[in-house]
């Protein structure tokens, strides 16, 4: 459990494991190199004595030379107590043998007809002692003795003791290196993760009152910059969402206060003195208008809440936008005639989506356009097939230009333009926010442009081929 939770401990253990494997590989290579070098030394010693014995045998020409051969070989081996030699003739008769030593049976059974080689050297153990040796045949110049068999062995206990000591040193070095690497890895990991702890310290200081705090990007290591950027981006989004939520809550309170105050005042006035039936009916009718306004506002806020949480899913039916726009133009024609405004529709197009939701989005734009158009003006609704995959809906109306600083907030909830532009007094500023949510639910996007000539809202949707 601790291993899973601690990155420092995991890095330290991984560092120790990597060091152990590296040291083990180096130790194995050194061990093989040392063993190979010692074997080369043993082979040099054995091969030198084999050449010495060969020279002595080649000097045997007479029985007298053969009789003197053991003493000559004995003299040549003086000072080499670790070397053992046996010489036999072709019948197996021992001509010379080092006293106190016997070659193993599987070794002496060999019969080599060629000079010995390093690969032919044999290693064996006798109790606690280790030996290396070889056997080969040497041709003779003595009549009746065509060849002699020479067995040479070397006791290398000294080399074995050195190897044992060397192995202990390697094991000690391996354990020490692994321990030191673990401690060093822990220290390095602690130092390396110091920027993470600094980031955590900054994050702990972030609160509702300090949402503008950001992680120091310049002092963060390269490996953590993506994390710092992502964290700062998250903080920016949270700060923006918090401010929007604060503004939204304030706007809700402001918008709800007016109708509720109206209801309270009207009710208090109605109760302040006796009224006749007609007067009470007037009060109730006025209250119903306020209740209707509250109901529409609450319904709009619920609609936006569903859109924010991904609960608003557009339908998958074919929608003929030309027909729907014609219906909307006919529905709003009385309102437009009262204001002296003409509605003009052009273009054809079909999309896949929810007919009612698309009606509502375009109706919001059309209602706003009529409201902000001066008498005698024209509101144009155009369907433009931008490409085989995209369909554009443009709602254009003449009127005063929307200030540039307000264009960025025009789709915010409860945001209303300057009343000097002729905004509807009963609007609450949710229509464009709802329109934007509907467009996004249909995988599209909405934009607005405005100048002294006209204001144009543009909805771009995936077209149905």
The predicted-structure confidence for 331-381, as pLDDT tens digits, reads as follows 999 999 999 999 999 999 899 888 888 888 899 899 989 998 999 999 999
pLDDT at 288 over 80: yes
Please give the DSSP secondary-structure letter assigned to residue 389.
S
- Structure confidence at residue 3 (pLDDT): 47
- Structure confidence at residue 312 (pLDDT): 64
Lowest-confidence segment of 108-112, 188-192, 277-281, 309-313 by average pLDDT: 108-112
pLDDT at 185 over 50: yes
Residues 370, 395: contact at Cβ < 8 Å?
no
* CA gap 465, 387 in Å, rounded: 10
Query: Containing H/E element for 109?
Result: none
Residues 370, 339: contact at Cβ < 8 Å?
yes
Task: For residue 363, give Cα distances in angstroms to 183, 239, 266, 312, 385.
Answer: 71, 33, 33, 19, 20
pLDDT digits (tens, 9 = 90+) for 64-120: 888 888 888 888 888 888 888 988 888 888 888 888 787 777 666 555 566 677 667
Average pLDDT over residues 209-235: 75
Q: How confident is the model at residue 303 (pLDDT cuts 50, 70, 90)?
A: confident
- Structure confidence at residue 309 (pLDDT): 63
* Higher per-residue pLDDT: 326 or 276: 326
- Structure confidence at residue 254 (pLDDT): 65
pLDDT digits (tens, 9 = 90+) for 415-435: 766 554 444 445 567 788 888
Please count the other Cβ atoms lying within 10 Å of the Cβ belonging to residue 167. Answer: 13
Lowest-confidence segment of 137-141, 326-330, 388-392, 408-412 by average pLDDT: 408-412
Residues 434, 304: contact at Cβ < 8 Å?
yes
Q: Report CA dihedral (100, 106, 109, 114) to the nearest 10 degrees.
A: -100
Please count the other Cβ atoms lying within 10 Å of the Cβ belonging to residue 102. Answer: 13
Average pLDDT over residues 201-211: 74
- Structure confidence at residue 420 (pLDDT): 46
In the predicted model, what is the mean pLDDT of the chain? 81
- Structure confidence at residue 447 (pLDDT): 92
* Higher per-residue pLDDT: 252 or 75: 75
Please count the other Cβ atoms lying within 10 Å of the Cβ belonging to residue 24. Answer: 15
pLDDT digits (tens, 9 = 90+) for 45-64: 888 888 888 888 888 888 88
- Structure confidence at residue 133 (pLDDT): 86
pLDDT at 11 over 50: yes
Backbone angles phi, psi at 124, to 5 degrees: -150, 165
- Structure confidence at residue 100 (pLDDT): 77
Q: How confident is the model at residue 149 (pLDDT cuts 50, 70, 90)?
A: confident
pLDDT digits (tens, 9 = 90+) for 161-180: 888 888 898 888 888 888 88
pLDDT at 409 over 70: yes
- Structure confidence at residue 125 (pLDDT): 81
Tallying the residues shown for the chain, one arrives at 465
Q: How confident is the model at residue 395 (pLDDT cuts 50, 70, 90)?
A: very high
- Structure confidence at residue 423 (pLDDT): 44
Residues 217, 225: contact at Cβ < 8 Å?
yes
Q: How confident is the model at residue 204 (pLDDT cuts 50, 70, 90)?
A: confident
In the chain, the percentage of residues whose pLDDT exceeds 90 is: 14
Q: How confident is the model at residue 211 (pLDDT cuts 50, 70, 90)?
A: confident
* 252-266, 290-304, 385-399: which is most confident: 385-399
- Structure confidence at residue 229 (pLDDT): 82
In the chain, the percentage of residues whose pLDDT exceeds 70 is: 87
- Structure confidence at residue 158 (pLDDT): 84
Angle between helical axes of 222-272 and 194-204 (0-180°, round to 10): 10
């Amino acid at each position: 459990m601790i291993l899973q939770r601690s990155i420092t401990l995991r890095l330290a253990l991984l560092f120790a494991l990597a060091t152990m494997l590296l040291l083990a590989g180096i130790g194995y290579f050194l061990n093989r190199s040392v063993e190979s070098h010692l074997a080369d030394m043993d082979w040099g010693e054995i091969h030198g004595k084999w050449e010495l014995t060969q020279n002595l045998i080649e000097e045997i020409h007479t029985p007298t030379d053969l009789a003197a051969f053991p003493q000559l070989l004995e003299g040549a081996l003086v000072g080499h107590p670790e070397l053992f030699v046996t010489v036999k003739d072709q019948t197996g008769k021992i001509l010379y043998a080092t006293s106190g030593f016997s070659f193993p049976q599987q070794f002496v059974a060999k019969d080599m007809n060629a000079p010995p080689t390093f690969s032919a050297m044999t290693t064996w153990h006798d109790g606690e002692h280790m030996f290396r040796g070889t056997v080969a045949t040497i041709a003779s110049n003595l009549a009746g003795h065509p060849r002699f068999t020479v067995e040479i062995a070397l006791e290398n206990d000294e080399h074995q003791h050195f190897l044992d000591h060397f192995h202990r040193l390697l094991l000690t070095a391996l354990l020490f290196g692994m321990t030191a690497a673990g401690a060093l890895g822990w220290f390095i990991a602690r130092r390396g993760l110091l920027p993470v702890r600094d980031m955590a310290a900054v994050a702990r200081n972030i609160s509702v009152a300090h949402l503008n705090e950001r992680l120091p990007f310049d002092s963060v290591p390269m490996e953590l910059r993506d994390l710092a950027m992502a964290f700062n981006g998250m903080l920016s989004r949270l700060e923006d969402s918090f401010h929007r939520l604060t503004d939204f809550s304030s706007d809700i309170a402001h918008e709800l206060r007016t109708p509720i105050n109206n209801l309270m005042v009207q009710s208090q006035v109605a109760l302040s003195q006796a009224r006749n039936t007609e007067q009470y009916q007037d009060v109730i009718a006025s209250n119903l208008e306020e209740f209707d306004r509250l109901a529409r506002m609450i319904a709009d806020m619920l609609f936006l809440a569903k859109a924010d949480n991904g609960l608003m899913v557009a339908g998958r039916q074919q929608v003929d936008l030309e027909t729907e726009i014609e219906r909307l133009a006919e529905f709003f024609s009385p309102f437009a005639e009262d204001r002296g405004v003409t509605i003009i529709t052009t273009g054809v197009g079909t999309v896949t989506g929810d007919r009612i939701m698309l009606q509502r989005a375009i109706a919001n734009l059309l209602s706003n356009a009529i409201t902000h158009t001066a008498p005698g003006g024209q509101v144009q609704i155009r369907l433009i097939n931008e490409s085989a995959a995209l369909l554009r809906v443009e709602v254009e109306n003449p009127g005063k230009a929307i200030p540039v600083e307000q264009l960025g907030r025009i789709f915010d909830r409860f945001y209303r333009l300057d009343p000097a532009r002729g905004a509807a007094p009963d609007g609450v500023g949710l229509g464009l926010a709802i329109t934007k949510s509907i467009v996004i639910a249909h995988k599209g996007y909405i934009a607005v442009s405005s100048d002294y000539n006209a204001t144009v809202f543009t909805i771009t949707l995936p077209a149905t081929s």
